[in-house]
């Protein structure tokens, strides 16, 4: 009787361990996947709003510049200053989140025996963090240059400010494109983690 019980237990343990281990881990991954998809949706809305806001600022800047409307130019500059400060804060937050995701995926690579999917997810997360870091550096650089130009109404300063606003528009478009790519990757990862390949 004891041998039968031991044999049954010996055969059952690997199945129980397999059933409990991955499912528990998979549940955590699925929860994180849902959080990342919600975050992607928020960032998509924010990116769309940012791009519309910048395109509007650029259009208003061009209009005010064409009319030599100093007060309108100063109003656009004031709004631009607020936008850049907000974007710097948002970029720092997103970079922190991207770095956290890269650390989490690095742990998954180490913990799960270096599976291909985990390595690919980690590479994607590291790439996202690098892209966000570059965007933050570019925004900082634009912000520093704009700070030296605010209030200046000579032709050279007006032209340079216009170029910097156009650079911000391009950054916003790149951010929107990057977010679409990240959303696709997160959907793929969610499918893989749920077992729907």
CA 99 centroid distance within chain: 10
So what's the pLDDT on residue 15? 46
So what's the pLDDT on residue 122? 81
So what's the pLDDT on residue 111? 79
So what's the pLDDT on residue 3? 57
pTM: 0.75
So what's the pLDDT on residue 107? 84
- For the chain (197 residues), the mean pLDDT of every run of 10, in chain order, is 50 47 58 78 88 97 97 97 95 90 83 73 85 94 97 97 97 90 81 69
Query: CA-CA-CA-CA torsion for 23, 29, 35, 39, nearest 10 degrees?
Result: -150
CA gap 125, 137 in Å, rounded = 18
So what's the pLDDT on residue 153? 96
Task: Please name which of 180, 196, 166, 190 lies closest in space to residue 51, comparing C-alpha atoms.
Answer: 166
So what's the pLDDT on residue 40? 79
So what's the pLDDT on residue 24? 45
Residue 86 φ then ψ, to 5°: -65, -40
Task: Please name which of 176, 132, 195, 196 lies closest in space to residue 40, comparing C-alpha atoms.
Answer: 176
- How do the residues of the chain divide into helix, strand and coil, expressed in percent and rounded to 5? 90, 0, 10
């Amino acid at each position: 009787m004891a041998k039968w019980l031991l044999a049954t237990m010996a055969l059952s343990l690997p199945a129980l361990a397999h059933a409990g281990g991955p499912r528990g881990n998979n549940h955590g991954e699925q929860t994180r996947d849902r959080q990342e998809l919600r975050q992607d949706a928020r960032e998509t809305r924010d990116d769309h709003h940012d791009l519309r806001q910048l395109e509007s600022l650029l259009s208003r800047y061009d209009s005010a510049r064409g009319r030599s409307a100093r007060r309108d130019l100063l109003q656009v500059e004031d709004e631009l200053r607020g936008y850049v400060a907000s974007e710097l804060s948002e970029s720092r937050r997103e970079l922190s989140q991207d770095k956290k995701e890269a650390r989490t995926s690095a742990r998954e690579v180490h913990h799960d025996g270096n599976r291909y999917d985990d390595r690919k997810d980690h590479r994607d997360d590291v790439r996202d963090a690098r892209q966000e870091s570059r965007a933050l550096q570019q925004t900082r650089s634009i912000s520093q240059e704009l700070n030296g130009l605010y209030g200046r109404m000579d032709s050279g300063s007006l032209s340079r400010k216009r170029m910097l606003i156009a650079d911000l528009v391009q950054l916003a478009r790149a951010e929107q494109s990057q977010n679409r790519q990240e959303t696709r990757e997160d959907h793929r990862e969610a499918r893989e983690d749920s077992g729907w390949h």
